[in-house]
Amino acid sequence: MHAVGQSVARKEAPNKVTGRARYNGDVTPVGTLTAVIVPSPHAHAKLRQVDVEPARRMPGVVAVITGQDTDPMCGEVLEDRPPLARGTVRYHGEPVALVIAHGEAEARAAARRVTIDCVPLPLVATVEEAVAPGAPLVHPELGAYRRAQPPVVPKPRTNIADHAKIRRGDPTKGWAASAVAVSGHYTVPQVDHAAMETRSARVEILHDGRVIVQSTTQAPFEVQKLLAQSFHLQQGQVIVDVPLVGGAFGGKAAVQLEVLAYLASRAVNGRPVQLVNSREDDMATSPVGIGLVADVKLGATRDGLLQVAELSFLLDTGAYADSTPRVARAICSECTGPYRVEHVRCDVYTVYTNHTYATAFRGFGHFPLTFAIERTMDRLAATLDMDPAELRRKNLLGPGDRTPTRMMLTRSTLGNPQTCLDRAAALLAGPAAQPIGPHTVRARGLALFWKTSSSPPNAISGALVSFNQDGSVNLSTGTIEVGAGTKTTSAQILAEQLGIDVNQVHIHTHINTKVDPEHWKTVASMSTFMAGRAVMEAAEDAKAQLKSVAAIALKCAPGDLSVGQGRVFLTADPRIYVTFSDVAHGYSYPGGDAVGGQIMGRGSYIMRHLTLLDEDTGEGHPGPSFTVGAQGVEIDLDTRTWQYRVVRAVTVVDAGRAINPAGARAMLQGGMCMGIGLATREGVLYDRDGQRLNDQLRTYKVMRAGEQPDAYVVELVETPQIDAPFGARALGEHGLLAIPAAVAAAVSHAIGRPVDHLPITPESLWKLVRSAEAVQ
483-542 residues near other proteins, rule: CB under 8 A: 483-485
**Using the rule CB under 6 A, is 5 a contact of ligand FES?**
no
Closest separation between CB of residue 282 and ligand FES, Å?
Answer: 12
Task: Give a three-class secondary structure readout of 215-276.
Answer: ECCCCHHHHHHHHHHHCCCCHHHEEEEECECCCCCCCCCCCCHHHHHHHHHHHCCCCCEEEE
Please identify which residue in 702, 753, 764, 769 interacts with other proteins, judged by CB under 8 A: 702
> By CB under 8 A, is residue 12 in contact with other proteins?
yes
Closest distance between ligand FES and the C-beta of residue 581, in Å?
37
- Residue 274 in contact with residue 261, Cβ under 8 Å? yes
Q: Does 83 engage in binding with other proteins (CB under 8 A)?
A: no
Q: Is 483 in the site for ligand FES (CB under 6 A)?
A: yes
Q: Which of 7, 68, 617, 771 binds other proteins (CB under 8 A)?
A: 7
Quick one: 483 or 618, whose CB is closer to ligand FES?
483
Residue 239 makes CB contacts below 8 A (sequence gap 6+) with: 210, 211, 212, 213, 224, 512, 513, 514
Task: Check binding of 25 to ligand FES (CB under 6 A).
Answer: no
Name the segment binding other proteins (CB under 8 A); options: 25-33, 284-292, 611-619, 738-746.
25-33
Q: What is the spatial distance between Cα 526 and Cα 317, in angstroms, rounded to a whole number? A: 24
Establish if 105 lies at the interface with other proteins (CB under 8 A). yes
- Using CB under 8 A as the binding rule, whether residue 101 contacts other proteins is answered as no
Contact 240, 207 (CB under 8 A): no
Stretch of 183-191, 567-575, 631-639, 663-671 lying at the interface with other proteins (CB under 8 A)? 663-671
Q: Does 31 bind other proteins (CB under 8 A)?
A: no
* Cα gap 579→102, rounded to integer Å: 55
Subset of 187-206 contacting ligand FES (CB under 6 A): 196
- The SS3 of residue 411 is helix
Least spacing, CB of residue 735 vs ligand FES, in Å: 14
Residues 213-272 that bind ligand FES (CB under 6 A): 247
Half-sphere exposure of 681 (CA within 13 A, CB side): 19
Minimum CB separation of residue 489 from ligand FES in Å reads: 17
State the minimum distance, in angstroms, from the CB of residue 104 to ligand FES. 14
| Residue 396, CA atoms < 13 Å, CB-side half-sphere | 25
Taking CB under 8 A as the binding criterion, the range among 76-84, 335-343, 385-393, 717-725 that sits at the site for other proteins is 717-725
Closest to 7 measured CA to CA, from 452, 662, 756: 662
CA-based max dimension of the chain: 99
Say if CB 582 and CB 547 are below 8 A apart. no
- Report the residue number, 617 or 643, with the smaller CB distance to other proteins: 643
Nearer Cβ to ligand FES (244/741): 244
Out of other proteins, ligand FES, none, what residue 7 binds, judged by CB under 5 to 8 A for its kind, is other proteins
3-class SS at 149? Answer: coil
* 511 beta partners: 242
Q: Does 57 bind other proteins (CB under 8 A)?
A: no
Partner that binds at residue 581, options ligand FES, other proteins, none, CB closer than 5 to 8 Å by kind: none
Query: 195 or 744, CB closer to ligand FES?
Result: 195
Q: What 3-state class would DSSP assign to 768?
A: helix
Contact 238, 181 (CB under 8 A): no
| Cα gap 558→165, rounded to integer Å | 54
| Closest by CA position to 366, among listed 152, 565, 631, 127 | 631
Identify residue 677 by its one-letter amino acid code.
G
Dist. CA 731–CA 724, nearest whole Å? 13
Q: Which 591-650 positions form the footprint of other proteins (CB under 8 A)?
A: none
Q: Which of 529, 532, 557 is nearest to 544 (CA)?
A: 557
* Element of type H or E holding 570: strand 567-570
In the list 115, 469, 696, 771, the residue contacting other proteins (rule: CB under 8 A) is: 696
Instruction: Pick one of other proteins, ligand FES, none as the site partner of residue 28 (Cβ within 5 to 8 A by kind).
Output: other proteins
Residues in contact with ligand FES by CB under 6 A are: 196, 247, 483
Site residues (CB under 8 A) for other proteins?
A: 7, 9, 12-23, 25-28, 105, 194-198, 244-249, 278-279, 419, 423, 482-485, 655, 658, 661-667, 669-670, 672-674, 696-698, 702-708, 712, 714-719
